[in-house]
Structure 1
Amino acid sequence: MNDDQVVARQHGRWVFGWDRREGDVPFDFRRVFGEFYDFTSPDVRLYDDFDPEHRVATTAAGYGAIWEPAFREMVSARHAIDDGPHVVASGDLAASTLRFVARIVTPGGVTDIRTTTSLVWRRTPDAWRIVREHNSTEVLPQGELDGRFDDARG
């Protein structure tokens, strides 16, 4: 595979790392995403506007600390890729973009979202690793994703 294909495959796998099923072991960011993020780089900047506090993490561990509490409380989270990934790779850097939809089920209810995600990857001696992330999310009308996943509740 060429670099574009490797990064595209990684970005697709990354999306489904966020899936949660009822009864899963507690969410552990580093366990799930250790192969994707650069946990040692001082250049990391990670942002997702779905975070109610709109924090920018400057380490992969810090990003995990933002998401672990929410994902541990979820009943389930199901994802599907709508578009992409689209990749541009040159030298030791690559950028990838894709759009996904997700159904998030919490004890408080169901939220359907559509997110555009852009990742910047740096080639390390062992693999491509995420050093930049920007996600923009739209909350969809209730029920918009009905029938998109295996069951109506996600």
Structure 2
Amino acid sequence: MSDGNVIADLHERWVFGWDRREGDAPFDFRRTFGEFYDFGSPEVRLYDDFDPEHRVAATPDAYGAIWEPAFSNMISAHHAVDDGPHVIANDDLAASTLRFVARIVTPDATTDIRTTTSLVWHRTPEGWRIAREHNSTVVLPAGDLDGRFGD
């Protein structure tokens, strides 16, 4: 399989790692995403504008600390790839862009979103790992994704 195909597969599997089902165990970022992020690199920078505080994490563990409370309290989160992934890869670096939609259900609300995610991957002895992440999210009108996830 070409590096581009490997990265495309990784990016799609990464999206679905964020899925949550009612009754799931508490969200554990490292357990869920250990194969995707470079937990040992000092070069990591991770950002998602869906974080209300707009923090930039310099480690996957710091990034996980942003998301574990929110995802542990969700009733469900369902994702679907809307476009991509689109990949550029060379020997040691690759970039992938993908757009997904999601329905996030919390005890207080249901939120539909569309997110464009860009990941920079670098080759490590363990395989391709995320070194950079940037996500840009738009909250969609209520009910915009009705029927998209079998609801």
| Partner of residue 19, structure 2 | 19
Q: Normalising by structure 2, report the TM-score.
A: 0.99
| Partner of residue 141, structure 1 | 141
| Partner of residue 89, structure 1 | 89
SS of structure 2 residue aligned to 1:80: strand
Post-superposition offset of 1:91 = 1.3
The Cα RMSD (Å) is 0.4
| Partner of residue 79, structure 1 | 79
- In the alignment, residue 123 of structure 1 is paired with which amino acid? R
Alpha-carbon distance in 2 for matches of 1:146, 1:81: 16
SS of structure 1 residue aligned to 2:145: coil
**Tell me, which stretches of 5 or more residues in structure 1 are unaligned?**
none
Alpha-carbon distance in 1 for matches of 2:109, 2:49: 20
Alpha-carbon distance in 2 for matches of 1:149, 1:57: 31
**Tell me, which stretches of 5 or more residues in structure 2 are unaligned?**
none
- In the alignment, residue 146 of structure 2 is paired with which amino acid? D
Alpha-carbon distance in 2 for matches of 1:89, 1:69: 34
How many residues are matched?
151
- In the alignment, residue 117 of structure 1 is paired with which amino acid? T
Alpha-carbon distance in 2 for matches of 1:40, 1:108: 37
* Deviation per residue, 1:106-136 (Å, 9 max, x gap): 0001000000000000000111000000000
Q: Normalising by structure 1, report the TM-score.
A: 0.97
* Deviation per residue, 1:51-85 (Å, 9 max, x gap): 00000000000000000000001000000000000
SS of structure 2 residue aligned to 1:85: strand
Q: Which runs of 4+ in 1 moved over 3 A?
A: none
